[in-house]
Amino acid sequence: MSGFDLPLFPGERRPGWVGWLLLAPLILWMAAFVVVPTAILAVYSFCQRDELGRVVFEFSFENYVRVLSPTYLWIFVRSIGYAALTTVICIVVGFPAAWCIARSSERWRSRLVVLLMIPFWTSFLIRTYAWIAILKGEGLLSGLLKYLGVISTPLEILYTPTAVVLGLVYAYLPFMILPIYSSAEKLDGALIEAAHDLGCGPLRVFSQVILPLVKPGLYAGVLMVFVPAIGMFAITDLMGGARVPMIGNVIQNQFFQARDWPFGAALGCVFTLLFVVAYALWQRRSQPIREVRT
Amino acid sequence: MKRLRLLVVTVLAAVFVSAASAAKKSKELNLFAWSEYFPQEVLDGFTEETGIKINYETYASSEEMLAKLIAGDGAYDLVQPSDYMAEVMIRNKMLRPLDLKQLPNRKNIEDQFLHMPHDPEGKFTVPFMIGTVGIVVNTDVVKEPVRGYKDLFQSKYKDRIVVVNDNREIVSWALVTLGLDQNDITPENLKKVRPLIAEWVKLIKVYDSDSPKTALLGGDVDLGVVWSGEAARLWEEDKKFAYILPEEGAHPFVDVMAIPAKAPHVDAAHLFLDYIMRAEVSKLISDEFPYMNPNAAARALLSEEQLANPASYPEGMDYMNVFRDIGRGAAAIDQLMTDLKSAQ
């Protein structure tokens, strides 16, 4: 076998030099901004620190021992929990929305997609501050509900876990809707009609026709919501009042408060490793085993 | 593969050439300062006068500044560390001695602030603004007197309190409440304050260093331990916000200006320092950010209301009682606070 053996499938050709040339910018980019930094992170995580928090190149396992202490493990678990809840809510809210957009007339479809993109024209932080203005005790929502006589005391949502989940769902919902939409748009309506003709009830049409065909979009959506939601720290700080530390906050603190780069690096490495392992397991389970030439 | 290598070499060469030509220009100044500390008017005035372009970058904690200064390795011409951070930077030879001849306006600074514990001879730093950390009370809601941390952290104020999101601050309040030295971060002392802070953490609703006044103005909390500049702006907005120096002991923080050892534009940095120490320029900064101004000449230009602001110019403050560097203790404090916040 030669040095670069990807499992190739019948009909696929090895990339020629044009292919490599086209890939070169991406490869350079990935090497400079993903591979090298990750390698640096890995090296730092086994080092010690001086009084300024700078890395001292003396080998140590100490950082990993600390990462595995109950405090930090519990923070990992909690962050994953929040991200999972966010993902579930995004699916429940996003799936029907994506379906409706995909099934609407062509004129409406493009308009609705533009509406979905509009929030991205404004900075994410500014939109988060807008939420603070809406949710705060003397804010818009509280004022409206008081005016309508629904509540008598100021609303207490801001700076609670509810606000954090609300902020996360708001931030990541488009990333769930868009990939599901692109899968659903391609779905041939004739298939659904055929299923009905052959006697399927609505539930069976959904579970046996729609879901399997929209699955790639759903999976992409889950990845695009779940992964960034775990590490998010701005929303937990701004809307959660930084009361309950999430893993993103804890890592940030190692660099900006605790002067402990190696420990921050170790937390980052464990975090990255978790993703890689989880993703690999998931890939193995969700993909049918392909024929691989040996 | 050869083509790939050629491409890499070309790209790298391009990067180095552009970096080298950038270093030659001295018509710019890389200013790295706290967020919300320089009015745009002041920066524009300097560029107008000297033609020097200011690249203004901000940070939210001294540690963030330190981390980026180390990582950037000499890209900044002026930094704005707090007292204890200036101390450790001087000790590690990260700051350049100032050329006092180029700073005639330094005479405007009140003398005591040029001889502070972090830089006893004033060789490396000039003070920019001085603040305190104290208690803010919304007197419309809270009728009982609050004199110190003991009065503040009571169970009846649960979920009505905002504090700055700064672990060292919180630990220092607990230390002085127990009658210990705020700078004495030892494992024994951290063990002593642990149960006290565990109680406090249950009562606090919001941790916010950038803008603790937001939660107070929004009516989400009624009490807080905040930077005096925030308290001063609250008082300007509404006189119901009272500012109290905690009776257990208050500490000031002195934000200074200094030139990093590897700064590329030293002359421009001196020009800017002298410019902001002019009385009328310094006054503009005070107008927008009402901290205690160590510039005596600028203070003479302030209005009576500005000088009467109890948060800007509190009575009976010992300005020498500053934080000292605690070196590796910062990590122990972070672990303690993470542990307590996570356990609730």
- pLDDT score recorded for residue B17: 44
Task: Return mean pLDDT, chain A.
Answer: 88
For the segment A251-258, the average pLDDT, to the nearest whole number, is 89
Q: Domain span at residue B29? A: 23-130+254-308
Q: How far apart are CA B273 and CA B278, in angstroms?
A: 9
Least confident of A79-88, B242-251, B320-329: B320-329
Same domain, B68 and B94: yes
CB contact under 8 A, B338 and A250: yes
CB contact under 8 A, A132 and B214: yes
What is residue B98's DSSP assignment?
P
Interface size, chain A vs chain B, as Cβ–Cβ contacts under 8 Å: 122
When divided into structural domains, chain B yields a total of 2
Domain with A243 in it: what CATH number?
1.10.3720.10
Q: How far apart are CA A130 and CA A166, in angstroms?
A: 13
Could you tell me if residue A36 is inside a domain? no
Domain with B204 in it: what CATH number?
3.40.190.10
Could you tell me if residue A293 is inside a domain? no
Same domain, B184 and B238: yes
Cβ-in-10-Å burial (0-12, 13-18, 19+) of B274 comes to middle
Residue of B nearest to A245 (CA): B342
Assess contact for A90 and A221: CB atoms under 8 A.
yes
Chain B environment of A20 (Cβ under 8 Å): 3-4
Same domain, B139 and B247: yes
- pLDDT score recorded for residue B252: 94
Could you tell me if residue A60 is inside a domain? no
For the segment A197-226, the average pLDDT, to the nearest whole number, is 91
Same domain, B209 and B290: no
A17 CB contacts (<8 Å, ≥6 apart)? Answer: B3
Could you tell me if residue B6 is inside a domain? no
CB contact under 8 A, A260 and B334: yes
Same domain, B281 and B339: no
- pLDDT score recorded for residue A6: 52
CB contact under 8 A, B338 and A71: yes
At B115, list the tokens.
Answer: 């001889």
Same domain, B37 and B183: no
pTM of the model: 0.83
Kindly report the nearest CA distance between residue B216 and chain A, in angstroms: 10
Q: Domain span at residue A146? A: 71-286
- pLDDT score recorded for residue A286: 64
Kindly report the nearest CA distance between residue B138 and chain A, in angstroms: 14
Same domain, B165 and B225: yes
Assess contact for A158 and A136: CB atoms under 8 A.
yes
When divided into structural domains, chain A yields a total of 1
Per-residue pLDDT tens for B123-155? 999 999 999 999 999 999 999 999 999 999 999
- What ipTM did this prediction achieve? 0.81
At B57, list the tokens.
Answer: 């970058």
Task: Return mean pLDDT, chain B.
Answer: 90
Assess contact for B118 and B223: CB atoms under 8 A.
no
Same domain, B247 and B259: no
Chain A environment of B4 (Cβ under 8 Å): 20, 24, 27
